[in-house]
Amino acid sequence: MDDFELDVASAKFLGLRGVEIKDLTGDVIISLGGDGTILHILSQINKPILGINFGGVGFLNELEPDDDILTAIDNISSLRYFEEKLHRIDTYLNDLNVGTAVNEIVLHTSRVAKIQGFEISTNGKLIDSFRGDGVIIATPTGSTSYSMSVGAPIIYPTMKSNIIVPIAAYKLGSRPLILPANYDITAKITGHPEAVMVIDGKEEIIINGKDKIEFKASKSPASLIRFNKNFFDRLRNKLRL
C-alpha cells in the first residue's frame, strides 16, 4: 500500500497536507478512533472502512491497538479480507433527505422530564401510538447501541431488518418490534408541538406535529473491513457478555 491520503485533521496533527474526508479517493479508509469516528466518516463518504479502536467500546472496529496492524494492512493490499455490508436508513423530513443512519434515528421529547406523543406506521398501516420519552428506529448495527441499552434485542448485523424501540413508553403494550428493512416507516408527533430528531448521535433536528417524517432502506449499504467472520466473538469481547 504505497499510495495513501490523510484527511485534513489527521494531516494537520502530523504537519502534513490533507484532503476533506468527502474527497478521499482511496479504495479503503483506515479509521483510528471509536465507533463515533466511523459514523462520522460514513456521514461524509461511503467507502469500505477498517476500524482500529482508539475509543471506548469500539464495537464497529475490527482491530485493537495491540493487534498486528501492519499485517492487517498487508492483508488488505493482498485482498485477504471480506466486506461486511451493513443496511442503512435514509431519513426524510418533509420529503428532504436529511441524513443516512448506520446505527439509529432517535425521536425524543424536547422537554426534560416531560413525555411526548408518538405515532408510528409502516406502509400506511398504524403500528403503535403511545406517549413516552421517545422512539428509536434502529438498524441491526444499531441494535448493539442505544437500542440495546433500553432493552431491545440484538440483531445479527447483516440481517435486512429494522427495529422500532419505544423509550420509556407509558403503555404496557408498547414493545420493540422488528420489521423487514424494505418496509417504509413513518413517524408523527402527537403531543407537545415540538420534539427533536437525532441521526447517529449527531446534531439535533427540531421537528413538530406538522412534519412528514419517513424512514426508508438506503440503496447504499455501509461496508466494514473484516478478517474474522465470528460476530459472536466480537459480541462477547466488546460487550462482556
Question: Which residue reads 426534560 in cell numbers?
Answer: 112
The 3-state secondary structure of 215-226 reads EEECCCCEEEEE
35 is catalytic: yes
Q: Longest C-alpha distance within the chain, in Å?
A: 59
Q: How far is CA 118 from CA 8, 83, 129, 193, 194, in A?
A: 41, 37, 6, 11, 11
Of 7, 35, 133, 200, which residue is the catalytic one?
35
Residue 240 region, left (φ>0) first, then alpha (ψ -120 to 50), else beta? left
Q: Give the CA count within 13 Å in the CB-facing half-sphere of 136.
A: 29
Nearest CA among 121, 122, 91 for reference residue 105: 91
What CA–CA distance (Å, rounded) separates 59 from 121? Answer: 30
Amino acid at 54: F
What CA–CA distance (Å, rounded) separates 213 from 1? Answer: 44
- Enumerate the active-site residues: 35
